[in-house]
């Protein structure tokens, strides 16, 4: 499981989405306020 900042995610969102789908692995997104969310593929979410 990877964790990146929202600024990193914004800089290359298309590649990040491809990586999450290809690796079937979620990614934790962290913003400047310390809030966190998860980026997960739709297939993984649906199971």
Position 41 scores a pLDDT of: 95
Closest CA to 20 of 1, 46, 47: 1
CB 44 within 8 A of CB 24: yes
Return the domain boundaries, the chain: 2-46
Give pLDDT tens digits for 1-47: 789 999 999 999 999 999 999 998 899 999 999 999 999 999 999 98
Q: Which CATH number, 1.10.1740.10, 3.40.50.300, 3.40.1620.10, 3.30.420.40, labels domain 2-46?
A: 3.40.1620.10
Does the reported pTM lie above 0.85? no
Position 35 scores a pLDDT of: 97
């Amino acid at each position: 499981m990877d964790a990146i900042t929202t600024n990193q995610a914004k800089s290359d969102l298309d590649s990040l989405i491809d990586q999450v789908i290809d690796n079937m692995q979620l990614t934790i997104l962290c913003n400047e306020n310390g809030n966190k969310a998860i980026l997960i593929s739709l297939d993984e979410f649906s199971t």
